[in-house]
A and B are shown apart, each in its own frame.
Chain A
Amino acid sequence: MDNPQISIERIKYLKRIKRQKEKILAWQIGILVCFLLLWEILAQAGIIDSFVLSQPSRIWKTCLNMAQNDLQKHIGITVYETLAGFILGVILGTALAFVLWWSSTISKISEPYLVVLNSLPKIALGPVIIIIVGAGTQAIIFMALAISLIVTVLEMLNGFQNTDKEYIKMAQTFDATKFQIFRKIVFPYNIATLFNSLKINIGLSLVGVIAGEFLVSKAGLGYLIVYGGQVFQLDLVMTSVIILAIVAALMYEAVALLQRVVMKKYGH
């Protein structure tokens, strides 16, 4: 940057990097286009059964059709449930991790329970959850929470416990209280850990929501998938799955964007 005159080697280097990036993007788009084309052609030619596997043109038609009905409502409900489960999971998970960080005794006592709960497939608790909190949106949010909570606790606790001991010792030399150590050292030190866990959690919450919607729901993308399957409208199923993939990607990107904004402020 010190040299205003950029050398020829530098220009070549920058060009090469740019070309490489363009090449990768072209391949990514190309593969998608080829896949869709191939799918459409094979379905048109009758080689694959478009009744079972649908086809891009039919998905597009279904999509337009649904957009005029209540697609937004279904997307909205799934997004709402996912975000609710996600935010609850992150707040509760971080709070629990804080408690376990604070007291190594509580942490040691709860360790076997956490390990078992972590490996238990939370979907198995579905019927219990429905009976306890009632069949409805709250059961779905609870399911999303159940799936993301333990992972958050373990991930955040691991981060908290692995905070650089020297930083903590430094704060102790100033006679910092345990809470000050948490607020000024341990928590800011783990902002990156928090975002890693947010990125994992947004996916996990979505898994919980879809599983919950499979079990109990009258709306949402999970509901559309189950309903489509039951009435043998595979176009509806495929369309919902694709919309779900787009929604998942967008939510992940939103978290990644938030991370970039926060890291710009805190990280260096």
Chain B
Amino acid sequence: MAVLDVNRIQKKYQAENGEITALKYIDFSVEKGEFISIVGPSGCGKSTLLSIIAGLMKPTSGEIVVNGEKIEGISNRIGYMLQKDNLLEWRTIYNNVVLGIEIQNNLTSENKQRVNQLLKTYELYDFKEKYPSQLSGGMRQRVALIRTLAINPDILLLDEAFSALDYQTRLTVTNDIYQILKQERVTTLMVTHDIPEGISMADRVVILSYRPAVIKDIIPIEFGLENRTPLNCRKTPKFSEYFDCIWKELS
């Protein structure tokens, strides 16, 4: 059974100067543990789609189903990571990481233990009493990921989550985060405008058309590598084939 079903989603925006159809018809489903990248021309409504799945925005029609259950509003089974790390500068790393469970009134000793475990596994435990300004961009992004994973979501949404980082950091951070997600077996949907980044992490790439968006194509990505990491993928000849294929679909 699919973890996530995006069923016939349509979204129209109402503004004073008219109506805009952002999403015309979006329908796909995601299996457990899968990594999906969503690419499309800028302004095609990629982020709108993610906001709808996250429950921050209501679709005009259609529904979002998680584990066979229709969800209304924000569900704690979905974690959402934004472009900026949004770490609160006045809180220590530890207090930033527990923000989500604190808001959900779930600050149990079990959850605290889980957070400490995550911090230890991903080499941030020594920094837990430090403040965000004392960390590098890559570390901050890892902290933001752990904050999202702390609520133990079934599905993780990444909204251009790495685009605020410089290129070098970005490559290492995507590598790190990819491994964290595979290790924690988190089902992930990532929106990106960076096609290589999308290919390097995805099991499938969903290509959206220009507004009003429909799904143009869904391309399964298979490198046949034993130790698949985003960095390894980039070295294979198949990588540029996938790139050409997606590039053609987009232009």
Contacts and interface: CB of A to CB of B under 8 A. Distances in A.
Interface of A: 164, 166-167, 169-176, 180, 184-185, 188, 191, 266-268
A170 B82 contact: yes
Given A166-B86, A176-B103, 9 more contacts: A169-B82, A170-B82, A171-B103, A172-B74, A174-B104, A185-B88, A188-B88, A266-B90, A268-B134
8 contacts: A174-B99, A174-B100, A175-B104, A184-B99, A188-B90, A268-B89, A268-B90, A268-B132
Interface in B182-199: none
Say which size band chain B's interface belongs to.
Answer: 20 to 34
B107 interface: no
A174 B151 contact: yes
Given A169-B82, A184-B103, A268-B133, A175 B88 contact: no
Nearest to B80: A173
B86 A267 contact: no
B218 to A, nearest CB: 26
Contacts of B56: 169, 172-173
Interface of B: 54, 56, 73-74, 76, 79-80, 82-84, 86, 88-90, 99-100, 102-104, 131-134, 148, 151
Nearest to A185: B88
Contacts of A171: 99, 103
B97 to A, nearest CB: 12
A167 B90 contact: no
Nearest to B102: A184
Nearest to A180: B103
A175 to B, nearest CB: 4
Contacts of A167: 86, 88
A173 B90 contact: no
Contact of B103 (A169, A175, A188, A267): A175
Contacts of A184: 88, 99, 102-103
Nearest to B56: A172
Contacts of A185: 88
A176 B76 CA distance: 11
A166 B103 contact: no
List 7 tightest A-B contacts by C-beta distance, closest first: A173-B80, A268-B131, A175-B74, A170-B86, A174-B100, A174-B103, A176-B103
A173 B82 CA distance: 10
A36 B100 CA distance: 61
Contacts of A180: 103
A191 B131 CA distance: 17
A167 B74 CA distance: 16
Contacts of B88: 167, 184-185, 188
Contacts of B104: 174-175
Contacts of B103: 171, 174-176, 180, 184
A167 B87 CA distance: 8
Q: Which of B74, B131, B133 has the most CB of A within 10 A?
A: B74
A1 to B, nearest CB: 14
Nearest to A181: B103
A107 B151 CA distance: 35
Nearest to A176: B103
B170 to A, nearest CB: 19
Contacts of B73: 175
Q: Which of A171, A173, A176, A268 has the most CB of B within 10 A?
A: A173
Nearest to B131: A268
A192 to B, nearest CB: 10
A215 to B, nearest CB: 43
A173 B74 contact: yes
Nearest to B54: A173
A34 to B, nearest CB: 45
A180 to B, nearest CB: 6
Contacts of B99: 171, 174, 184
A264 B111 CA distance: 29
A155 to B, nearest CB: 20
A11 to B, nearest CB: 28
A191 B82 contact: no
Nearest to A188: B90
B85 to A, nearest CB: 9
A166 B86 CA distance: 7
A159 to B, nearest CB: 15
Nearest to B100: A174
A267 B89 CA distance: 7
B188 to A, nearest CB: 15
